[in-house]
Amino acid sequence: MILKLILSILVLFIVPELLGLLICRFIKKEKNDIFFAFVIGYLIEFAICQVLAVPMILYEVSFKILLNTYITIISVLSILSFFINIIRIKDIIKKNIQSLKETPKFLALITLILIGIQVYGFIGYAHIDDDDAIYVGTATTILQTDTLYKYSANTGSENGEQLHLRYRLGPFPVYTAIISKMIHIHPAIVAHLVFPCIFVPIVYMIYGLIGNELFKKDKKQIFLFLIIINFLFIWGNYSARTNFTFLLFRIWQGKAVLANIIIPATWLLLLKVEENDFKFTNFLLLFIVNLAGDFTTTMGIALVPITVMVVAFALEISKFKFKNGILKTIKNLSLCLASCVPSIVYGITYFVKG
């Protein structure tokens, strides 16, 4: 039990934080922001899984090889991040303690209670979802057979519906299987209990960071914004297909992660592009979020690049200046389009071979 707890803390908290700090180290305004780094860390993990999983699935490589390759990559990157950031630990702690002191305590308490209620819904109750035959069933089958999408989770046959390309190009259950193996907890428990305890807070971290951009770091306005967002989600179950419902009942599924984490994170990164102008780190982060979106579900192949280009175009037009503005706008939009190359490649693959 103690070993599982230590492994869970390491895999679910420390490693994503280190992965995020590895990139944030080179972003001036976010280099000490542990919440932004934590969000980016998970996007990096999704992106790495996508790059590794899709070709290994198509070439029928074993799950063990994928797992060992993934662990090696994130271990190397985490160790590298540790040594790069070790001299800044004092500054990171100081910055975040100062930020905590400036937080309006009452509003923060209400926000935490509202988030806690949503997390408790997963801990205290169980939601039975038919789509778990794919999301949880596939992860369990991967672990039991040491294969990647070779056998159907429903029938056990080698020619099941999971062999369809739309499942193979957005293989989020692979991540569930990886985390399950790493922390030695069954995929059903990982999906229904572990992921909600991580992903629900991440959703509100992203909205808090968006509020930070919109309200110019006004803490009171940010927490009021978060409280409103919380109420929208809590009372948003007016349809089975809203992103609110997906957060409340099945955040462990790839399409729910796309709707509630990837798309808002894309908006967040684009707001930072507008604020900081387009730099290589902005391009890299948009490239990563595109890969992460592709990993969650094949709908991400379309929705993330559409979001990137539409929002980027709107932001560029809103701050357009005629003097040297055309070339700069074309440059920024071209870089945004270049960040969408992974989605374009997967989209072409789907239409050609699907």
pLDDT tens, residue by residue, 288-325 = 999 999 999 989 999 999 999 998 888 877 776 555 56
Closest to 203 measured CA to CA, from 111, 72, 68? 111
Residue 160's pLDDT band (cuts 50, 70, 90): low
Calculate mean pLDDT across residues 220-244: 90
How far is 10 from 12, CA to CA, in rounded Å? 6
Tokens read off for 334:
């071209």
Domain ranges of the chain: 2-353
Q: 3-class DSSP state for residue 126?
A: coil
Calculate mean pLDDT across residues 101-120: 92
Three-state DSSP string of 227-273: HHHHHHHHCCCCCCCCHHHHHHHHCCCHHHHHHHHHHHHHHHHHHHH
Opening angle at CA 42, ends 40 and 44, nearest 5: 70
Residue 116, pLDDT > 60, answer yes
How far is 302 from 309, CA to CA, in rounded Å? 11
How far is 170 from 247, CA to CA, in rounded Å? 19
How far is 174 from 138, CA to CA, in rounded Å? 8
Most confident of 92-106, 177-191, 265-279, 323-337: 177-191
Tokens read off for 309:
């280009």
For residues 148-172, one letter each, b for 16 or more C-beta atoms within 10 angstroms of the residue's C-beta and e for the rest, the string is: bbbbbbeeeeeebebeebebbbbbb
Q: Which residue has the higher pLDDT, 354 or 312?
A: 312
Please state the pTM of the whole predicted model.
0.93
Closest to 12 measured CA to CA, from 184, 127, 170? 184
Most confident of 47-56, 233-242, 272-281: 47-56
CA 314 and chain centroid, separation:
24
Model pLDDT, residue 161:
52
How far is 268 from 262, CA to CA, in rounded Å? 10
Q: Which residue has the higher pLDDT, 44 or 167?
A: 44
Q: pLDDT tens, 263-277? A: 999 999 988 877 666
Residue 208's pLDDT band (cuts 50, 70, 90): very high
Calculate mean pLDDT across residues 97-126: 90
How far is 322 from 22, CA to CA, in rounded Å? 37
Q: Which residue has the higher pLDDT, 71 or 99?
A: 71
Residues 6+ apart with CB under 8 A from 17: 34, 37, 38, 41
Calculate mean pLDDT across residues 195-215: 94
CA 121 and chain centroid, separation:
21
CA 341 and chain centroid, separation:
18
Describe the crossing of helices 280-296 and 15-24 by its angle, rounded to 10 degrees.
Answer: 150
Residue 162, pLDDT > 60, answer no
Answer whether 4's CB lies under 8 Å from 185's CB.
yes
